């Protein structure tokens, strides 16, 4: 039986005042803070409907956890897009997969001219919660984001990246260092497309400050000036930012002429199998780009073995698998061919130079095919970001289309028929010394039943407790834990 899409997405009413939840089992008393979630919650405006899951109006969620008890509330982000849509009772701002139509209140000539206008970026920050300088923000992938109060979920201030640095947008997945310094990436398009590495200082000089002091660490030109690669996130180690330039491309001309041709942003994204995947390593101290065109990634894994998978949708979607890639930093004319260049102790990854400018990486094994790949990967981020880590957590990919769903701890699995867990967030226990000492939090969608907050022991994956919410919650994207302990 298929999980009906209406349980995943649909118009949901906000719950701006906190409500009690029903506790089953035991929520550890030491968990003290706000579990914040973000995602789309409204897909119909008046008689108009959004075309894509990514388009829905941002609905912010808060699970307040204190002394074993949990309350829940939610609030629509009061973005400019939300407000104008509400006031006009129509979709007035284009989103990722939905192109707005000309205002019917305008005359014919005005409607005709509006098709030649450049598309205005949305500020519908429905992707993620993140922090800059200790403050919480929500964003999508445009140049706008909103500073929000994690207690009230209200928007405090709308912030425009382009007022501080020359970028046309930024990802919703920045990386924060232990000292609070934050790195992100954003594109610029004049005179040609560039990928920019952004650095935001760790602290504020006054309470009203937002992105003041942000700088572009380096700017990497796109291989194709009018068709840069699309990217949703990037990686980092202690000394390097790691950007992967993939063959997933953005057709800028199609975006610019979208109103004229009736094309949304999603229509401009395409895969070019003729292109290689290129790793860019950027030194955090100097901004120097290392191995700009030397290391090319060729995925070669046997993905065609027989599987018993139900559902046309699942069979036509690509699968996501975890890869731990080891990149040798010092490759020159003396680097030997046809032998493993990975010398890290305990690592089973292989990295082999096969020709003058090609290095082949071996990837994941076959075990994860059983679960359809993984999505929403997370680690013990606060303690192990930029450091070697052993464990990661994620959702089995089939959670989007099948009836049994999984949360993975390497190969420790939590699964229940008919339950749909969301992104797992790790919360360390007080004074924990082990990397996996803590709990996993995940919001679980249950068709025709109460949605609940799931709490798992991060080491054993045993269920400790759940907090049932008496209102509908749509399936969201990403979130964060605002620790009050």
Residue 405 assigned to a binding site? no
Query: What is the rounded distance in angstroms from the CA atom of residue 377 to the CA atom of residue 362?
Result: 20
Q: What span, in angstroms and rounded, lies between the C-alpha atoms of 266 and 97?
A: 5
End-to-end CA, the chain: 43
232 known ligand binder: yes
* Spatial distance between the Cα atoms of 150 and 129, rounded to a whole number of angstroms: 10
Which of 113, 116, 52, 48 is closest to 84 using CA atoms? 48
Q: Establish whether 312 is an annotated binding residue.
A: yes
Asked whether residue 61 is marked as a ligand-binding residue, the answer is no
DSSP result, 425-461: EEEEPTT--STT-EEEEEEEE-TTS-EEEEEEETTT-
Give φ, ψ of 258 to 5 degrees: -55, -45
Mapped onto helix, strand or coil, the DSSP state of residue 313 is helix
**Rounded Cα gap, residues 53 and 43, in angstroms:** 8
Alpha helices in 201-242 (DSSP H): none
Q: Output DSSP code: residue 9.
A: S
The radius of gyration of the chain's CA atoms, rounded to the nearest angstrom, is: 23
Q: Which two tokens stand for residue 472?
A: 């509908």
> Which contiguous run of DSSP H or E holds residue 83?
helix 80-88
Binding residues: 173, 232, 312, 478
Binding residues for Fe cation: 173, 232, 312, 478
């Amino acid at each position: 039986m298929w999980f009906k899409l209406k349980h995943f997405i649909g118009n949901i009413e906000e719950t701006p005042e906190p409500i009690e939840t029903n506790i089953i089992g035991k929520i550890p008393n030491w968990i003290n803070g706000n579990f914040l979630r973000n995602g789309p919650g409204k897909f119909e405006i008046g008689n108009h409907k959004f075309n894509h899951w990514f388009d829905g109006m941002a609905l912010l969620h808060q699970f307040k956890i204190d002394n074993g008890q949990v309350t829940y509330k939610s609030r629509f982000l009061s973005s400019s897009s939300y407000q104008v849509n509400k006031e006009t009772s129509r979709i007035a701002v284009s989103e990722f997969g939905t192109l707005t139509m000309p205002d019917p209140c305008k005359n014919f000539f005005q409607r005709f001219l509006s098709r030649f206008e450049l598309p205005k970026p949305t500020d519908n920050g429905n992707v993620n919660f993140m922090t800059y300088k200790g403050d919480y923000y929500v964003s999508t992938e445009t140049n706008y984001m909103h500073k929000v109060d994690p207690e009230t979920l209200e928007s405090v201030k709308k912030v425009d990246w382009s007022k501080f640095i020359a970028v046309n947008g930024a990802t919703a997945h920045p990386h924060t260092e232990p000292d609070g310094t934050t790195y992100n990436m954003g594109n610029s398009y004049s005179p040609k497309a560039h990928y920019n590495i952004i650095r935001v200082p760790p602290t504020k000089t006054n309470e009203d400050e937002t992105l003041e002091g942000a700088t572009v660490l380096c700017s990497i030109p796109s291989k194709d000036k009018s068709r840069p690669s699309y990217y949703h996130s990037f990686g980092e180690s202690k000394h390097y930012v790691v950007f992967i330039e993939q063959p997933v491309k953005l057709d800028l001309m199609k975006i610019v002429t979208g109103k004229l041709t009736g094309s949304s942003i999603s229509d401009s994204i395409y895969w070019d199998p003729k292109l290689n995947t290129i790793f860019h390593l950027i030194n955090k101290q100097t901004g120097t780009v290392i191995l700009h065109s030397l290391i090319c990634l060729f995925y070669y894994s046997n993905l065609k073995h027989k599987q018993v998978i139900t559902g046309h949708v699942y069979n036509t979607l690509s699968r996501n698998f975890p890869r731990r890639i080891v990149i040798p930093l010092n490759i020159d004319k003396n680097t030997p061919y046809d032998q493993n260049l990975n010398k890290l102790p305990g690592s089973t990854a292989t990295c082999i130079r096969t020709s003058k400018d090609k290095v082949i990486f071996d990837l994941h094994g076959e075990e994860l095919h059983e679960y359809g790949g993984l999505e929403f990967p997370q680690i013990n981020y606060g303690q192990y970001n930029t450091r070697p880590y052993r464990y990661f957590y994620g959702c089995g990919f089939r959670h989007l289309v099948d009836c049994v769903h999984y949360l993975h701890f390497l190969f420790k699995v939590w699964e229940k028929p008919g339950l749909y867990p969301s992104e797992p967030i790790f919360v360390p226990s007080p004074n924990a010394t082990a990397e996996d000492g803590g709990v996993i939090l995940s919001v679980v969608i249950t068709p025709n039943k109460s949605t609940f907050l799931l709490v798992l022991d991060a080491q054993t994956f045993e269920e400790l407790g759940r907090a049932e919410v008496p209102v509908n919650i749509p399936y969201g994207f990403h979130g964060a834990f605002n620790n009050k302990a």
